[in-house]
Amino acid sequence: MKVLDTDFAKSFIRMCNDGWTFGWHESNGGNASYRLTTVEVSQVKAGFRAKPWVGIDTDIPTLAGECFLITASGSHFRNITHDPKSTLGIIEIDRTGTAWREVWGFKDGTHPTSELTAHLINHEVRKAATRGKSRVIYHCHPVNLAAMSCVMPHDSAVFTRTLWAQLAECAMVLRYGVQVIGWEVPGSIDLAIETAKAMETSNAVVWPHHGLFVSGDTMDEAFGVAHTVEKAAEIWCKARACGMPNTSCIEDEDLSRFSREYDLGLSRRQMFAKPVLGTPAPERVKLEVANAVPKKPPVQEKQEKVPDEVLANMPSVFHFPAEPAKAAPAPSPTQPEEPVYRFGIKKTS
Ligand code: 13P
Ligand code: ZN
């Protein structure tokens, strides 16, 4: 069977294209990988053409012998549906988990993503965390999440609680919360390792001022996690930007009821962290004005008192004599009703 005729390849291409249409993949931003099942490998193996082995920065013994469909470095997600053989490829891990080689795709001299080490180490971590179920890693650059990372503390519990506060089902899709790591150079081993530490407890890692790195058992799950994080971030950004005071969010007791009723097992540390919702607008405006304008005592206009005798002798000043109180006018007899005219025509009714 040809790789591009398989369900896994079609689903992978659709996921990448959906990310592109959502605006999460400017230029060559983002990358993705899928760990094939043994059945899928046997379906497509006949078309493999192996290239030389390349050493991996770190050992990944639990991925020995596995095959991955993965995006090519520098490939633009907008082109994946049109040119999958250049923008994608399949790699195979050797029997010892210390080297990889290209076996399909990567036409026109392309190679796997610069985040290959991050993908491989994190596939290993997530495979262990999910007892072999996790198969997809997806990295994207969504705008609202990046904006949020500019103004939020990079604290995983606070970040998670703030996302959960925005959208009812965020806590359900994102039940392990997000982990926020420090800024690291894209494609670096440090970024791969810091992400792997974070992925031991969560399937969604925020790379501040960069993007989101998620995993899932299926492409629907991985994409759904990314979509939910970004949607909660978008609600947060829009509610902050509209200028109205923040008056409501999902409260601690609501979240804990939600967790109990759906058996979500939300962590108490994340559930009871204080969400960042911004200072209510009128308070903020008052504060800003108070800080911007230095306080000065109000200027009193000097008014010279004019002596009474001068006033009395001034020709222009007329003093009204005190008037006796007038009796109230007697009520007038009821007048006959005036005819009503409209546009000069007497109204009949
Ligand atoms: P690649 O084009 O090498 O996949 O890099 C894109 C990216 O988003 C790096 O983080
Ligand atoms: Zn990136």
- Please state the rounded mean pLDDT for residues 10-20: 98
Four-CA torsion 333, 334, 340, 341, nearest 10 degrees? 0
Evaluated on CA atoms 159, 161, 164, 170, the torsion sign reads positive
Q: Is 215 in the pocket of ligand 1 (CB under 6 A)?
A: no
pLDDT digits (tens, 9 = 90+) for 146-161: 999 999 999 999 999 9
Residue 349 has pLDDT above 50, yes or no: no
Nearest CA owner, ligand 1 atom 1: 73
**29 touches 75 (CB < 8 A):** no
Counting ligands in written order, which one lies closest to the CA of residue 111?
A: 1
Neighbours of ion ligand 2 (CB under 5 A): 211
Q: Cα(256) to centroid of ligand 1, in Å?
A: 38
Counting ligands in written order, which one lies closest to the CA of residue 74?
A: 1
Average pLDDT across the chain, whole number:
88
pLDDT digits (tens, 9 = 90+) for 251-261: 999 999 999 99
- pTM reported for the whole predicted model: 0.81
pLDDT band at 317 (very low <50, low <70, confident <90, very high): very low
d(CA 123, CA 104): 20
d(CA 173, CA 235): 16
Query: Which ligand 1 atom is the nearest neighbour of the CA of 207?
Result: 10
Four-CA torsion 20, 22, 24, 27, nearest 10 degrees? 40
* Nearest alpha carbon to residue 253 among 158, 159, 165: 165
pLDDT band at 199 (very low <50, low <70, confident <90, very high): very high
Q: What's residue 295's pLDDT?
A: 57
pLDDT band at 265 (very low <50, low <70, confident <90, very high): very high
For a pocket test of ligand 1, which of 111, 115, 117, 122 has the largest count of ligand atoms closer than 8 A to its C-beta? 115
What percentage of the chain carries pLDDT values higher than 90?
77
Q: Is 33 in the pocket of ligand 1 (CB under 6 A)?
A: no
Could you tell me which residue, 221 or 337, shows the higher pLDDT?
221
Q: Is 117 in the pocket of ligand 1 (CB under 6 A)?
A: no
Q: Which two tokens stand for residue 266?
A: 């939300």
Q: Is 79 in the pocket of ligand 1 (CB under 6 A)?
A: no
Report DSSP state, residue 275.
P
- Please state the rounded mean pLDDT for residues 319-342: 53
Could you tell me which residue, 282 or 52, shows the higher pLDDT?
52
Residue type, 108: D
Could you tell me how far CA 198 lies from the centroid of its own chain?
18
Residue 309 has pLDDT above 80, yes or no: no
Q: Cα(30) to centroid of ligand 1, in Å?
A: 5
For a pocket test of ligand 1, which of 25, 114, 188 has the largest count of ligand atoms closer than 8 A to its C-beta? 114
pLDDT band at 344 (very low <50, low <70, confident <90, very high): very low
What percentage of the chain carries pLDDT values higher than 70?
80
Query: Which ligand 1 atom is the nearest neighbour of the CA of 141?
Result: 8
Nearest CA owner, ligand 1 atom 10: 186
Residue 101 neighbours by CB under 8 Å, 6+ apart = 50, 51, 52, 53, 54, 91, 92, 94
Q: Which residues are catalytic?
A: 115
* Nearest alpha carbon to residue 230 among 140, 298, 151: 140
- Please state the rounded mean pLDDT for residues 22-50: 98
Sole residue written with tokens 């546009």: 343
Query: Which ligand 1 atom is the nearest neighbour of the CA of 191?
Result: 10
pLDDT digits (tens, 9 = 90+) for 44-94: 999 999 999 999 988 999 999 999 999 999 999 999 999 999 999 999 999
d(CA 312, CA 289): 48
pLDDT digits (tens, 9 = 90+) for 318-327: 444 455 555 6
**94 touches 120 (CB < 8 A):** no
Q: Cα(159) to centroid of ligand 1, in Å?
A: 24
Pick the range with the lowest mean pLDDT from 143-157, 178-192, 226-240, 309-323.
309-323
Q: Is 113 in the pocket of ligand 1 (CB under 6 A)?
A: yes
Cross-strand pairs, 213: 139, 205
Q: What's residue 57's pLDDT?
A: 85
Q: Is 73 in the pocket of ligand 1 (CB under 6 A)?
A: yes
DSSP assignment of 151-186, as one string?
Answer: HS---HHHHHHHHHTT-TTHHHHTTT--EE-----T
Residue 316 has pLDDT above 50, yes or no: no
Q: What's residue 318's pLDDT?
A: 40
